Amino acid sequence: MTVFILRRLMQTLLVLAATSLLVFFGLYVIGDPVEILVNPVADEVEKARARAALGLDKPIIEQYWVFLKGAVTGELGTSFVFGRPAMEVILERMPATLELAFLAMVMAVALGVPLGLYAGLRPNSWPAKTIMAASIVGFSLPTFWVGLLLILVFAVQLGWLPSTGRGPTQEVLGLQISILHWEGLKYALLPALNLALFKLSLIIRLTRAQVREQSLLDYIKFARAKGLPRHRVIGVHLLKNILIPLITVIGLELGSVIAFAVVTETIFAWPGMGKLVIDSIFQLDRPVVVAYLMMIVFMFILINLVVDLAYSALDPRVRLAEHR
């Protein structure tokens, strides 16, 4: 087990190094940040000064070397646009994205698993057919369109919920969290719903497929023949077995929700990391993009590790063997 985790750690470092290299040179190739950042009235003297100030006058290899030296000590560069450490800028907005992702995931799982279960257990009833049809709509509609529609219906026409922005926050364990009280939660409902729609559809369909497959197996028949009550058959035995693929998908989707909630954050003006990174790409703010992507890669690897560990906990047949 420890060897497994250690091997994972080493792979992590390799992937992080490769990511930083790719992103660094990729952004360098796109264009010159100074042309974007500097005010159009600036002349050559000003552009040269800006280049020197941002360290862009050195050859690219040297810039990468400076970055690596800093990365080893945890310093991932200073943002060109903000003039502050890139990690600081990202971490400042992380609670906003995390709470949105968390809320979306909770919505998706809390609604998706029961609905999927129902659709799987009574596949030919009309509620089940409605659920399945709705799930197709759910993952076909583009996120930005659904987002604008939600704003139009719930904020403009009905006026039930605020249209954009993040609500007032409270300090919890040193972080600014807004969803723990209704004042802040009502701002998060629409963006979380928007974000959750795709995952919801996915989870419904996956759960239903798993239920269909598992409920035909012998052990379910045996459990029923044994005389176990229905809620125990479904709630304990069936659920545990469908959880494994479900957890894999939820883990991956959680990662992607945190990393790429850009569209939802843009539409709802939610001050999270996704919006930050897309703006940084457009402004060629290389330190922020590199720091962000490295962090995301690390997070995905971590989630993967947790999922694998959860696997072995849930399914006694799975061993985290060394020759994987």
Among 38, 91, 209, 228, binds other proteins (CB under 8 A): 38
Among 158, 216, 313, 321, binds other proteins (CB under 8 A): 158
Please, which residue, 44 or 322, has the CB nearer to other proteins?
44
Q: How many residues make contact with other proteins (CB under 8 A)? A: 59
Rg (CA), the chain: 24
Among 157, 225, 231, 321, binds other proteins (CB under 8 A): 157
Among 78, 194, 207, 210, binds other proteins (CB under 8 A): 78
Tokens of 180: 């723990």
Please, which residue, 151 or 246, has the CB nearer to other proteins?
151
Residues 171-210 close enough to bind other proteins by CB under 8 A: 186
Task: Give the C-alpha separation, 116 to 319, whole Å.
Answer: 29
Q: Of 7-15, 211-219, 280-288, 307-315, which segment contacts other proteins by CB under 8 A?
A: 280-288
Please, which residue, 4 or 260, has the CB nearer to other proteins?
260
Q: Does 89 bind other proteins (CB under 8 A)?
A: yes
Tokens of 259: 């990393």
Q: Closest approach of Cβ 287 to other proteins, in Å? A: 11
Q: Closest approach of Cβ 131 to other proteins, in Å? A: 22
Among 5, 13, 22, 53, binds other proteins (CB under 8 A): 53
Q: Scan for tokens 């690897």, then name that residue.
A: 301
Q: Closest approach of Cβ 76 to other proteins, in Å? A: 15
Among 1, 44, 216, 317, binds other proteins (CB under 8 A): 44
Q: Does 70 bind other proteins (CB under 8 A)?
A: no
Q: Closest approach of Cβ 176 to other proteins, in Å? A: 8
Among 5, 68, 269, 318, binds other proteins (CB under 8 A): 269
Among 117, 275, 301, 307, binds other proteins (CB under 8 A): 275
Task: Give the C-alpha separation, 260 to 255, whole Å.
Answer: 8
Task: Give the C-alpha separation, 290 to 184, whole Å.
Answer: 31
Residue 310's alpha-carbon distances to 177, 243, 244, in angstroms, are: 28, 10, 8
Residues 136-155 close enough to bind other proteins by CB under 8 A: 147-148, 151-152, 155
Please, which residue, 81 or 223, has the CB nearer to other proteins?
81
Residues 8-37 close enough to bind other proteins by CB under 8 A: 30-37
Q: Closest approach of Cβ 285 to other proteins, in Å? A: 9
Q: Does 114 bind other proteins (CB under 8 A)?
A: no
Please, which residue, 146 or 242, has the CB nearer to other proteins?
146
Backbone φ, ψ for residue 78 (5° rounding):
-110, 130
First CA to last CA distance, the chain: 12
Q: Tell how strand 175-177 and strand 170-172 pair up.
A: antiparallel
* 148 touches 190 (CB < 8 A): no
